[in-house]
Structure 1
């Protein structure tokens, strides 16, 4: 794949595991290692997010809301917008169709010089919809300092859930973690993944039949009969744990067979007359330049020897 066809961040990630000379078998194995490392990084980030909260830089209830919703990395970017809010000045412009138009002037210091930028923010007090012409939320997925200034001016204590993207939330439930893949088949917590998947299934069934007592009794009896059947199945069929390890040798990956390409080999290509003349001309020029250089070096050496003999005499 060319670098222009995919994102450069993915290329930099795979460069740690693959090279341009990697074979097909190495590519498959290294791809599994990439996925395993990526999943490990996600687990470490989730553990860091659940370990503690980053303290707020202001007393805004909106920042408190973002503190419990966003991950630590994204919340640091949001805090930078709350800090920039101190450099913004508001001035109401007009009211039209239950929408308030504000002009936000932000002071910026670039290379020791002060600049002022003006932005327009539209706020609807009924639906709490807000929009800024800097389009930071549409580009980065977080609210800008101009919008935060308007929300603080209008005394809004909580933003809508549509302004908190699920991709930045640490409370999102990843359903793909229950899917078994090739790189996590030897993990020790596979039973925990199966347990969580079964709990989700049991919860969905119980949620549908919890309103009627007779239906709940039927569900309990079904669980009891299923437990008895599973116990008998375990007693009859005691499978070995090393079944997966034995199947790995049978399903080992092999390189594809070498296929001879169709057509005439490249080293026996018939040359055209123009190509042959150009090649012969370049050879003659190189040979003539070498002869001129050698002859020049020979005359110079002869002259130097003559001068040495003259002075010695």
Structure 2
């Protein structure tokens, strides 16, 4: 009877209401002949390993800067503000922007400068709408790309990087630095009602 109850408890953790990723995660700890204690030991071991890996990554982010691979000032700025993992995603896009992106045409739509960017790595063209803004502050400039990578991932695509660099921008505008990908986000601390520090609390990104 006890064994049957364990199986029922485990099966509850894998339902259609959970995402596929969650189901896959919990499935690794399930065994037909396993007990709840064995499940908990496997689960705790994996969580401890994840925490150890995260602490190593956090230490790297807080005490060192990633190595850049291009001459782009935008990449140097990204190395200063992004975590290691986010930076290497940006870095890959920066390299592609130099190696595979070229300007194919240009039109004006009101205050927007719309540039066709030829992307040889994908064999297609993308449109980047760029607003140089009315001020000299590069932090207020805006752009959007038809590939919608930034909207999906929070990291600039190679096409916008190409346009920003072509316009002499040296820093990533604030609107395109998503908090959760930054080193500063790792240092944020929230305090409970006792005034005790609580690490890694969820912070809503207003952007």
TM-score after normalising by structure 2 = 0.70
Gaps of 5+ in 2: 1-12, 134-139, 199-207
- Cross-structure match for 1:94: 107
Structure with greater strand percent: 2
Residue matched to 2:79: 67
Q: Distance in 2 between matches of 1:144 and 1:166?
A: 17
Please identify, of 98-107 and 84-93, the stretch whose mean Cα deviation from structure 2 is larger: 84-93
Rounded Cα–Cα distance in structure 2 between residues aligned with 1:56 and 1:49: 15
Structure 2 residue aligned with 1:119, among 123, 126, 129?
126
Calculate the aligned-residue CA RMSD, in Å. Answer: 3.0
- Select the structure of larger CA radius of gyration: 1
Q: Is the 8 A contact 1:69 1:170 kept in 2?
A: yes
1:49 Cα deviation (Å)? 2.4
* Distance in 2 separating the partners of 1:91 and 1:139: 25
Task: Give a deviation string over 1:149-189, Cα, whole Å, max 9, x none.
Answer: 1101111222222212222222213547x77xxxxxxxxxx
Give the gaps of 5 or more residues in structure 1: 109-114, 180-193, 199-313
How far did 1:21 drift? 4.9
Give me the whole-angstrom Cα distance separating, in 2, the residues matched to 1:18 and 1:175.
35
Counterpart selection for 1:19 from 31, 37, 46: 31
Question: Following the alignment from structure 1 to structure 2, what is the Cα–Cα distance between the partners of residues 151 and 9?
Answer: 36
1:17–1:34 CA contact under 8 A, matched in 2: no
**2:56 is the alignment partner of 1:49:** no
Q: Structure with the greater relative contact order (CA < 8 A, sep ≥ 6): 1 or 2?
A: 2
- Tell me the distance in 2 between the aligned counterparts of 1:14 and 1:30: 10
Superposition map of 1:166-245 within 5 A: 166-172=179-185, 173-175=187-189, 197=197
Q: Is the 8 A contact 1:78 1:142 kept in 2?
A: yes
The number of aligned residues is 177
CA offsets 1:71-130 (integer angstroms, 9 cap, x no match): 21221121111111122111442222211110101113xxxxxx7311100011114111
